[in-house]
A and B are shown apart, each in its own frame.
Chain A
Amino acid sequence: MIEALFSYDFLQNAFLSGLIIGVIAPMIGLFIVVRRLALIADALSHVSLAGIAGSLYLSQQVVFFAGLNPVYLGMAAAVGGSLLIERLRRVYRNFEELAIPIILSAGIGFGAIFISLAKGFGSDLVGYLFGSVSAVSRQDLTVVAVLAAAVLVFIYLFYKELFTLSFDTDYSRASGLNGGWIQILFMVMTALVIGASMRIVGILLVSSLMTLPVASAIQVAKSFRSAMVLSVILGETSVIAGLVAAFYLDIAPGGTIVVTAILILLAVLGGKRLLGLRHPEAEEEAA
């Protein structure tokens, strides 16, 4: 594979994109998981399906869209969906989680309509659903790199606010931290990560790359910082192992990356059990 990496541009693109999303997806994912919003990533990725399918359909109809990378419309849909979720969470104050199935169904609904209109699944669409090693263009890689830079700057600048808001929303409000627009920015960043990741892991599996490495990391990490570092290390491990396996076995990388992340999670849970380490929640239940 090493020689192939040097000889084929598409492999370089896929590999570099993978390395980048292996950093940003678990980083944003950590904030999502600790706020118990893991399903939001799912809802947004399904909304991006509507955008992708819409773009693929329009590319058959309108010349302008034929030249447009479907990732853009997919990402725009995810950003729009993220803002809608925030709105809906306010409308249903007492049923905040209701915003997630509403947006998720809307995404799949529109996706189904556009897929039917476009006369079914092409190999293009399968690539978007489950990821692809061969479909990542140089342009895709550039987009991923730019988005990742935006996400990293955001986390760097707002790390303490994001931590404070995630740890204790009531306290944040009482101490005068105005989290409203930071939350909206955060949702937009989540949508951007989904947009950046879908080429490699696929729409259906993006949320796994945001949550599975984090699920493993918080089993062992004591501090938030170490949870973040560990999530990124485990995310990267999953991406690298998954891409290599996908290349040799000629299967969709989304599947191999996510299955690797699941194996890591099982290993962490099993290892903890063997070593007799216990999570604080388990101790509380035992007490």
Chain B
Amino acid sequence: MQGSLVKLTDVSFSYGSSAVLKDITFTVNPGEFWALIGPNGSGKSTLIKLLLGLLKPSRGTVELFGKPAGDPDRKERIGYVSQKSASFNSGFPATVLEVVKSGLTVKRGLFRRFTEDDSKAARRALQAVGMEDFTGRNIGELSGGQQQRVFIARALAAEPELLIMDEPTVGIDQQNSASFYSMLEELNREHGIAIILVSHEIDLVTDLASHVACLNHTMHFHGGRRDFAKLGDRDLSKWYGHPVRLIHQKEGGGSDD
């Protein structure tokens, strides 16, 4: 097996004069399922943007698949899923299959049209998220949870080694988000895809993930789930800056940008 998928070394980032991230060191290895938690405005989304190469660190290095994050071929190996409804118009005339195939646009490359293989890859991805019966449906007709599964399939179509998700269950009801999470667990277990999941739902994601990273401008904790479970509410409350209880603790939605 190869080395780390993601390696951040002493990474700092600031927007103008306000420091958002400070001295982050963090490694993700193949097959790991990371939950990235932290309060609103803690810099979680900024960290994701650094991973995707949409932002450059002010200090430190970001490596993906053993290469600097600026390297162009790395992006096909990462699947990205944003918050639901972040940037898509629900009246858009497109079928589920068309949306999932759009995940192959970069992989297929310029001046090349989609092939039958691309359609097959898209169908396989839909099967992996349990949406294979919806290929011909209009994307706007689906429920929020179903749409989010389709967006995961779009990310999976290019067969990434790492799936990065930024609050994928915002705006999805509790029951649907529970089945969504169990699907993620299955993707990680059966397909061996590494996952970085940013979420507000501390209890759920820390039960699900193999590793937990707790961020509030600096990385307060990162390690295995068992070590995380040994922490008390006191530690978490200190890091969050307000009282946090790990049992049925739930915060409201919203982005942390």
Q: Which of A156, A160, A223, A226 contacts B105 (CB 8 A)?
A: A160
Tell yes or no: B106 within 8 A of A by CB.
Answer: yes
Please indicate which of the listed interface residues B53, B99, B108 has the most CB atoms of chain A within 10 Å of its own CB.
Answer: B99
Q: Which of B75, B82, B138, B141 contacts A176 (CB 8 A)?
A: B75
Compute how far the CA of A50 lies from the CA of B154 in the bound complex, rounded to whole angstroms.
44
Compute how far the CA of A224 lies from the CA of B88 in the bound complex, rounded to whole angstroms.
14
Q: Do B106 and A34 touch across chains, with their CB atoms under 8 A apart?
A: no
Q: Please name the residue on chain B nearest to A173 by beta carbon.
A: B54
Q: Do A174 and B80 touch across chains, with their CB atoms under 8 A apart?
A: yes
Chain A contacts with B in 151-197, Cβ cutoff 8 A: 156-161, 163-164, 166-177
In angstroms, how far is the closest chain A Cβ from the Cβ of B142? Answer: 9
Tell yes or no: A138 within 8 A of B by CB.
Answer: no
Q: Do B106 and A279 touch across chains, with their CB atoms under 8 A apart?
A: no
A170-B82 in contact given A34-B89, A160-B114 (Cβ < 8 Å) = yes
Tell yes or no: A280 within 8 A of B by CB.
Answer: yes
Q: Do B99 and A177 touch across chains, with their CB atoms under 8 A apart?
A: no
Q: Do B137 and A171 touch across chains, with their CB atoms under 8 A apart?
A: no
Q: Do B106 and A175 touch across chains, with their CB atoms under 8 A apart?
A: yes
Chain A contacts with B in 38-93, Cβ cutoff 8 A: none
Q: Please name the residue on chain B nearest to A287 by beta carbon.
A: B143
Q: Do B94 and A171 touch across chains, with their CB atoms under 8 A apart?
A: no
Chain B contacts with A in 22-62, Cβ cutoff 8 A: 52-54
Tell yes or no: B247 within 8 A of A by CB.
Answer: no
Tell yes or no: B72 within 8 A of A by CB.
Answer: yes
Compute how far the CA of A171 lies from the CA of B82 in the bound complex, rounded to whole angstroms.
8
Q: Interface size (B, Cβ < 8 Å)?
A: 37
Tell yes or no: A227 within 8 A of B by CB.
Answer: yes
Chain B contacts with A in 70-92, Cβ cutoff 8 A: 72, 75-76, 80, 82, 86-92
Q: Do B105 and A36 touch across chains, with their CB atoms under 8 A apart?
A: no
In angstroms, how far is the closest chain B Cβ from the Cβ of A78? Answer: 26
Q: Do A280 and B91 touch across chains, with their CB atoms under 8 A apart?
A: yes
Tell yes or no: B119 within 8 A of A by CB.
Answer: no
Chain A contacts with B in 250-281, Cβ cutoff 8 A: 279-281
When distances are taken between beta carbons in the complex, the residues of chain A under 8 Å from B105 are 160-161, 163-164, 172, 175, 177
A171-B111 in contact given A223-B94, A224-B94, A284-B90 (Cβ < 8 Å) = no
Tell yes or no: A119 within 8 A of B by CB.
Answer: no
Q: Which of A34, A161, A174, A280 contacts B138 (CB 8 A)?
A: A280
Q: Which of B76, B87, B90, B138 contacts A222 (CB 8 A)?
A: B138
When distances are taken between beta carbons in the complex, the residues of chain A under 8 Å from B86 are 170
A218-B91 in contact given A173-B54, A175-B106 (Cβ < 8 Å) = yes
Q: Do A161 and B110 touch across chains, with their CB atoms under 8 A apart?
A: yes
In angstroms, how far is the closest chain A Cβ from the Cβ of B162? Answer: 13
Tell yes or no: A16 within 8 A of B by CB.
Answer: no
In angstroms, how far is the closest chain A Cβ from the Cβ of B24? Answer: 20
A36-B98 in contact given A174-B52, A176-B75, A222-B138 (Cβ < 8 Å) = no
Q: Which of A166, A169, A171, A221 contacts B80 (CB 8 A)?
A: A171
Q: Do A224 and B110 touch across chains, with their CB atoms under 8 A apart?
A: no
Compute how far the CA of A36 lies from the CA of B94 in the bound complex, rounded to whole angstroms.
15
When distances are taken between beta carbons in the complex, the residues of chain B under 8 Å from A224 are 92-95, 98
Q: Do A34 and B92 touch across chains, with their CB atoms under 8 A apart?
A: yes
Q: Do B93 and A177 touch across chains, with their CB atoms under 8 A apart?
A: no
Compute how far the CA of A176 lies from the CA of B107 in the bound complex, rounded to whole angstroms.
10
Q: Which of A161, A175, A223, A284 contacts B75 (CB 8 A)?
A: A175
Q: Please name the residue on chain B nearest to A283 by beta carbon.
A: B141
Chain A contacts with B in 195-238, Cβ cutoff 8 A: 217-218, 221-227
In angstroms, how far is the closest chain A Cβ from the Cβ of B121? Answer: 14
Q: Which of A160, A168, A175, A222 contacts B95 (CB 8 A)?
A: A222
Chain B contacts with A in 198-225, Cβ cutoff 8 A: none
Compute how far the CA of A225 lies from the CA of B97 in the bound complex, rounded to whole angstroms.
11
When distances are taken between beta carbons in the complex, the residues of chain B under 8 Å from A223 are 93-95, 98, 136, 138
When distances are taken between beta carbons in the complex, the residues of chain B under 8 Å from A161 are 105, 110
Q: Do A222 and B93 touch across chains, with their CB atoms under 8 A apart?
A: yes
Q: Please name the residue on chain A nearest to B88 by beta carbon.
A: A168
Given known contacts A167-B99, A176-B75, A223-B94, what 8 new A-B pairs fall within 8 Å (CB)? Answer: A163-B94, A164-B105, A170-B82, A171-B82, A173-B54, A177-B105, A223-B98, A280-B140
Q: What residues make up the interface of B, taking CB atoms closer than 8 Å to A?
A: 52-54, 72, 75-76, 80, 82, 86-95, 98-99, 101-103, 105-106, 108, 110-111, 113-114, 136-138, 140-141, 151, 154
Q: What residues make up the interface of A, taking CB atoms closer than 8 Å to B?
A: 34, 36, 156-161, 163-164, 166-177, 217-218, 221-227, 279-281, 283-284
| A-B residue pairs in contact (CB < 8 Å), sample of 22 | A34-B89, A160-B108, A164-B102, A167-B92, A167-B99, A174-B54, A217-B93, A221-B93, A222-B93, A222-B137, A222-B138, A223-B93, A223-B95, A223-B98, A223-B138, A225-B98, A226-B93, A279-B91, A280-B90, A280-B140, A281-B90, A284-B140
